[in-house]
Amino acid sequence: MVYSWFKAILTTLCFSGMIVVQASPVVTIAYEDTPQPPYYLGKGSMVPKQRPGITVELLNHIAERLDFTINYQRYPWSRCLATLGSNQVDAIFHASFKQDRMKLGVYPMKNGQLNNLKRVHRKAYSLYTIKGFDLKWDGKQFVNLKGSIGVTHQYAIANQLESMGVEIDKAYDSYTHLRKLMARRIVGIVDLENKVEPILSQNKRQFSQVIKVSPPVSTKDYYLIFSHKFYQANKTLANAIWDEIHMAHKTGVYTEVAKKY
């Protein structure tokens, strides 16, 4: 569907003879400044022009369809959340659902419930530990846990583990966790598989003793969420973007983008 009301409007002011062009909307979207292959690549503030990642390509596709422009900004995840809550950016990705995050932004909802059909994607958190450690995850709880577990600062999994009484150690990136694990400063890591696996693959010698424990500790849906200010002023556009994300999965567009990675 083409949303014609978002297309540039050419208006002639008869009394002055001046032509005024109303530009397409600009949506400022923030995401994390460390890579999460294959969803987004590159480090720091850079947004790669080639192979930026599945989610960035998907949003670029949607922006073209709906005729708006995206201004990407990259920050540490904690700052992404903070800038959303202060309305300094219009949206962030990828955000799993946490009740307290509803104070910061707006999730896609239906009849008062989270609409997971409009998620960007689904990811798994797994436990990583050292060969020789007897630490396990039985699907409900940790077995032989004798120390702290590393988690990424401001990731939703931290609250989940703390609610289980697990002592956690926070850091800002997966590489730091892995180094702590190798130094036996922590006994395990619970982190996103798509963040940890590329590091292990690229540093096989350094992290040769690290193993992944099955099954996953948690599987979560991840969303594009909008700031309250942006959503209140642009409900039609925000809902159209969520609709396009859903349709991309339903029609196979998402799968075609993912094949590139």
pLDDT attached to residue 5 = 35
Q: Residue 22, class by beta-carbon neighbours within 10 Å (0-12 exposed, 13-18 middle, 19+ buried)? A: exposed
| Residues 6 or more apart whose Cβ sits within 8 Å of residue 37 | 53, 194, 195, 198, 261
Q: Would you put residue 170 in left (φ > 0), alpha (ψ -120 to 50) or beta?
A: beta
| Residues 6 or more apart whose Cβ sits within 8 Å of residue 68 | 6, 24, 25, 26, 27, 237
Half-sphere exposure of 189 (CA within 13 A, CB side): 31
pLDDT attached to residue 136 = 97
State the average pLDDT over residues 152-162.
90
3-state secondary structure of 153: coil
Residue that is written with structure tokens 């080639």 in the block: 50
Confidence check: pLDDT of 248 > 50: yes
State the average pLDDT over residues 189-198.
92
State the average pLDDT over residues 225-236.
98
Model pLDDT for residues 12-47, shown as the tens digit of each residue:
333 344 444 457 899 999 999 999 989 999 999 999
Model pLDDT for residues 129-141, shown as the tens digit of each residue:
999 999 999 999 9
Four-CA torsion 97, 121, 186, 146, nearest 10 degrees: 70
Q: Which of 123, 96, 95, 97 shows the shortest CA–CA distance to 38?
A: 123
Model pLDDT for residues 209-230, shown as the tens digit of each residue:
999 999 999 999 999 999 999 9
Give the chain's domains with CATH numbers: 4-120+221-258 (3.40.190.10), 122-220 (3.40.190.10)
pLDDT attached to residue 24 = 85
Q: Is pTM beyond 0.95 here?
A: no
